[in-house]
Structure 1
Amino acid sequence: MRNDPYVEGGVRLQKVLSQAGIASRRAAEEMIEDGRVQVDGQVVRSQGLRVDPDRQVIHVDGERVFLDETKHVVLAINKPVGVVSTMSDPEGRPCLADLLMDHPERLYHVGRLDVDTSGLLLVTNDGELANRLTHPSYEVPKTYVARVHGEVKPGVRRRLLQGIELEDGPVKVDSFRTMETYGEITTVEIVVHEGRNRLVRRLMDHVGYPVRELVRTHFGPISLDRLQPGTTRRVKGNALKALYSSVGL
């Protein structure tokens, strides 16, 4: 009985790797022989292994191999202020569906941004990816830039890094830095990995610096970059691989 993830009538693994542009068939055979290839989480060394590239997950050197990126839809959205992070809204407010009219796939939003916060939001047709990106056990970092009232004192950073007790439990930031102070407004960068409702706003309220404006600039390895408000960008190539890798997929 075979112990490897063999699929009757499937495609030879080295051919799949070659078609994916990973390496020539000969080089792919050497990768398999060296134990650098995994199928469904199992290291394989059999040169005759046949796989189903449509349903099996293949990694080379720990990096996900995407045989058809068109099936793995991940979009970055720059959500404007005033748009709710749902696919529909019973009150008739602008929602994510209004920004995704050119994308007929069934898409899941990865977490939320409150209606007054703008910036990076991800949507995907991969439910498992969405689940892992939002599950606290994977500790995916989210980066925010906030404009707050007043000049932020040095002790604020220490308090936030050590931890704050909020009404729904303790929380501490992954990192905090002051970017600039202009007049009575200070711009700060905050990195957290939790996804509690209005977390950054509540943290800054707690330390005495209410947020005037809040933008999320990064979600894990994905950056807002130059994406304009109300527009989307397809996540693909190395960015897509990095996103899957960040949650062990």
Structure 2
Amino acid sequence: MEKVRIQKIIADSGLCSRRKAEELIEKGQVKVNGHPCKLGDKALPGKDIISVGGENITVDNRRKLYYIMLHKPRGYVTTTSDELGRRCVTELLENIPERVYPIGRLDKDSEGLLLFTNDGGFANDMMHPSRHISKTYRVTVRPDISEQQLVQLAAGVEIDGRKTAECNVVVLDKQPGRVVLQMTIFEGRNRQIRKMCEAVGLEVARLKRTAVGPVKLGMLKPGTYRELKPDELRALRNAVTKKQG
């Protein structure tokens, strides 16, 4: 049997995503056969004893893999638990026998499409910076928007000391004091849409993610969820493969 990177084994166990597993390793919370490990270390799945935070993990290749879309309402944080006692998105996922975790995130004041899975490899592929999976948002801004601001957003603006990649911006509706935009970005930086709008002098009144890659939120009601359809999952996998190629 070939040894596997420890973060992949942790992700395959369903405990968390591979990226989160890497963070846990860096924090010294992961041990292999009782000894602390470091990033890059490998182990034998099912033979070496891997513990996270003092608890041993197990990998069951027979477990069912879940791929779920949730319509996240405003007011929920994208985490599995919160030390401040805020409502977490996982509280909305009932009757799922496996532990699933979010792919990416939406901030507390944002709403819309959020994906969950217990497939660590799939989650890592979706979130890896090199994949550039598109994310589409319906953004309500105030008070108005100029042609120059539209051009700036589309071309990329500097946030957190680095310029954003080009994005697609379309005006969906324009009324006195408010404009509704559709923005599609191809990176996943922290609070990116809000920061981009703020950088050009726009106030974001509402932010809703309507699509991730080819998968659309559709008519799913806030606070409800469903499993991805086979064609939706296939389309996401194809999008990841194309970006990888």
* TM-score, length of structure 1 as denominator length: 0.69
Equivalent residue of 2:152, what SS? Answer: helix
Match of 1:136 in 2: 129
Computed over aligned residues only, the root mean square deviation of the Cα atoms, in angstroms, reads: 1.5
Contact 2:165 2:186 (8 Å CA) reproduced: no
CA–CA distance in structure 2, aligned partners of residues 193 and 231 of structure 1: 26
1:118 Cα offset (Å): 0.4
From 89, 95, 102, the counterpart of 1:109: 102
Contact 1:160 1:172 (8 Å CA) reproduced: no
One-letter code of the match for 2:102? H
Instruction: Name stretches of at least 5 consecutive residues in structure 1 with no aligned partner.
Output: 1-69
Match of 2:31 in 1: none
Contact 2:69 2:226 (8 Å CA) reproduced: yes
**Once superposed, which parts of structure 1, at least 4 consecutive aligned residues long, lie more than 3 Å away?**
none
Contact 2:141 2:204 (8 Å CA) reproduced: yes
1:243 Cα offset (Å): 1.1
Equivalent residue of 2:240, what SS? Answer: coil
Alignment of 1:1-249 (within 5 A): 71-248=64-241
Between the aligned residues of both structures, percent identity stands at 37
CA–CA distance in structure 2, aligned partners of residues 168 and 82 of structure 1: 29
One-letter code of the match for 1:113? L
CA–CA distance in structure 1, aligned partners of residues 182 and 166 of structure 2: 11
1:81 Cα offset (Å): 0.5
1:137 Cα offset (Å): 0.5
State the aligned residue count: 180
1:101 Cα offset (Å): 2.2
Match of 1:56 in 2: none
CA–CA distance in structure 1, aligned partners of residues 161 and 122 of structure 2: 26
Contact 2:79 2:88 (8 Å CA) reproduced: yes
CA–CA distance in structure 2, aligned partners of residues 168 and 235 of structure 1: 37
Moved more, 93-102 or 205-214: 93-102
Match of 2:57 in 1: none
1:174 Cα offset (Å): 2.1
CA–CA distance in structure 1, aligned partners of residues 100 and 232 of structure 2: 19
CA–CA distance in structure 2, aligned partners of residues 166 and 128 of structure 1: 30
1:173 Cα offset (Å): 3.6
* TM-score, length of structure 2 as denominator length: 0.70
Equivalent residue of 2:173, what SS? Answer: strand
